[in-house]
Amino acid sequence: MKENHTGWTDQENAALLKCVLDARKTRQPLRIAFDTIAAQTDRRPNSVRNHYYTQLKAAEKAEPAFLPFSEEETDRLLDAVLLALSNGQSVRSCTLDMANGDTRRMLRYQNKYRALLKTQPERVRAARSALIAKGHRVPDPFVRDPDAPHVGRPPKPSCELEARIRALLDNLCRNLLALTQGENAG
């Protein structure tokens, strides 16, 4: 199974650039360079290709297409979101505040936080424990608050409830039809 990678090191980027330049010098397809780097870094060739072209675009714009989070920035993000949760604020609202209303940055922060919950739960728990040790009441982000409003698609009704709703709607339709035809509704 391939390891999940979260970013490229300077050494990996340098190796990719050298491999691409070597392929161009020898008039080989870039695919060979991508395959070579994929094997060296335990990544998929398509991921290497996508990274290469993303870096090219970023160089044209003179701004990096992807800014990896530093350890300090990640710690600050975790503390800010966990403290916001303790104050009843949502992750989205907190990250939007952190981004000063910039939705692109907000999504970057929100996605990083969600990724930390999924890929580094021990780090999230450690950050929560440190905040609790400082006297903050921080809810467990891995446990859904039963009193919190439901977000997303509502749950499907049970078969019995669905049958009762259908019967009510059928009866309502019959009554409306009867009324429009001048009959007494039952």
For the chain, the structural domain boundaries read 10-61, 71-133, 157-186
How many whole angstroms separate alpha carbon 33 and alpha carbon 53?
13
pTM over cut 0.75: no
How many whole angstroms separate alpha carbon 109 and alpha carbon 128?
18
pLDDT at residue 23 in the model: 86
How many whole angstroms separate alpha carbon 36 and alpha carbon 49?
11
**Whole-number Cα distances in Å, 98 to 89, 90, 92, 128:** 12, 12, 10, 19
How many whole angstroms separate alpha carbon 144 and alpha carbon 64?
36
pLDDT tens over the chain, length 186 residues: 455 666 888 888 889 989 988 888 888 888 999 999 999 999 999 999 989 888 887 776 665 556 788 999 999 999 999 999 999 888 988 999 999 988 888 989 999 999 999 999 999 999 999 999 999 999 999 987 777 666 566 667 778 888 888 899 999 999 998 888 876 655
Both structure tokens of 45: 């060739």
pLDDT at residue 1 in the model: 46
**Whole-number Cα distances in Å, 41 to 83, 120, 171:** 37, 21, 65
pLDDT at residue 146 in the model: 74
pLDDT tens string 124-140: 999 999 999 999 999 99
pLDDT tens string 30-64: 899 999 999 999 999 999 998 988 888 777 666 55
